[in-house]
Structures are given as structure tokens and as C-alpha cells.
Amino acid sequence: MSVDAKLVKQLRDKTGAGMMDCKKALVESNGDLEKAVDHLRKSGIAKAARKGTRETKEGLVFSYIHAGERLGVLVEINCETDFVAKTEGFSDLARNLAMQIAATNPIAVDRKNISESILNREKEIYIEQAKSSGKPDNIIEKMIDGRLNKFYQENCLMEQAFIKDPDKKVQDLVTETIATLGENISINRYIRFAVGETGPTNGQL
């Protein structure tokens, strides 16, 4: 089937994918724009992992103010080129990340950004809780590991369940966007402010 050039451009602006990839996706989707977006996402997932080592020096700082103006988030999200930074797909990701941070208040972007003092404090608590259970040492070790993993899942942005789709982690959302836009993407830092709190939550603790 022939594909309208305006529709190809619309898909390219939305996803940042190459012109030929957009045309092919529209052909495969019989001209349905949303299905074409899904097609690009599905076909690109396998490639996304290989893009993870590329340098990200472009991007944007996205601001989100929650209804009532008592809660706000600034998040810096990076990509490889200025072109992708200006796409709708990149802005959508930034918005979703900012809303996630506003809703869940993670203490760090990922595990490596959690301070040693916070981690040690949590470990001490889990060790005491496990020991008080009277279980054998090998079970205690598994209990501590399980509680630590739960701590990471609740407090690391990339490991949290995505608020709009709890079956998906935030890392999955980022990976899907990398696949769709064709560039590596990283979350550099964020700050969350809430009226009445003593200070901002910083994603680089």
C-alpha cells in the first residue's frame, strides 16, 4: 500500500525513528498510526540493550507541578541528539518519569545512587528482624536478601512499578522508549519538592 508522506512525518516526529522505518511500520500497520508506534516499539526492543553504552549529552530538564501546586518535580533526562530531545516520545517519557517521582518519592535513580549510610541502616534493621525469627542461618540470609530487594523495588526509581501500568517497571518504560526512538536514554538526576517538607528529595543520594 502507498503511505501518505504527511503520516510518515507525523510518525517520525512522534517517535524519532528513521524515515524508512516509519514508512515500513505504517505499511505493516495498514496506515494506523498507533499500531505503527507499537510496531516500532516491538521491533526495536532487541536493539535497545545495545544502545545502553552510548554517551548521552543532550536532553531536557522537565518540570511537573501537581494539581494544587503543592508538589513539584524537576527531572533531567538525557539522550544522544538534540533531535530526539525535541520529539513527542521523549517529552512523554519525561512527563511520565516526573509523575512517577511525584507519586512515589523514590530516594534514588537506581541502586548505585543510594548512599552507603542509608543502605547500611536498612541492612542492620533487616538483620535484626531476621535473627529474631529464630530461623536457620541459610534462611536468615535469604530473608535479608528478599527484604533488600523489596527495599530497592520501592525506593529506586528504575525498579519501581510504573504507576500507569503496575505490570511494567520504570526500567521497562525507558527501554521501550530507547527502542522506539533509537537512541540511548538516561535519567541523570531529579529533585522533588513538597510544601511543608524540610528539603527536596534528590535522586543522587
Pair (163, 182) in one structural domain: yes
Pair (13, 85) in one structural domain: no
Pair (150, 167) in one structural domain: no
Q: Which three cell numbers, joined as nine digits, stand for 186?
A: 538516561
Neighbours of 145 (CB within 10 A): 12
Q: How many domains does the chain have?
A: 3
The stretch 137-150 carries a mean pLDDT of 86
Pair (104, 128) in one structural domain: no
* pTM (2 d.p.): 0.74
d(CA 176, CA 159): 15
- E strands in 113-183: 161-162, 165-169
Pair (79, 175) in one structural domain: yes
**Cα dihedral across residues 11, 17, 23, 26: positive or negative:** negative
Pair (43, 70) in one structural domain: no
Pair (14, 107) in one structural domain: no
pLDDT tens-digit readout, 52-100: 667 788 999 999 999 899 999 999 999 999 999 999 999 999 999 999 9
Q: Give the pLDDT score at 201.
A: 60
The lowest-confidence range among 43-47, 63-67, 183-187, 195-199 is 43-47
Q: Give the pLDDT score at 170.
A: 95
Q: Which amino acid is at 145?
A: D
Pair (9, 37) in one structural domain: yes
Domain that holds residue 5: 1-51
Pair (41, 61) in one structural domain: no
Pair (77, 144) in one structural domain: no
The residue that leads in pLDDT, 44 or 90, is: 90
Query: Distance of CA 23 to CAs 17, 70, 90, Å?
Result: 10, 44, 20
d(CA 40, CA 25): 6
Q: Residue 102: which CATH number?
A: 3.30.479.20
Burial 44-78 (b: 16+ CB within 10 A, else e): beeebeebeeeebebbbebebeeeeeebbbbbbbb
Pair (160, 87) in one structural domain: yes
The lowest-confidence range among 37-41, 74-78, 156-160 is 37-41
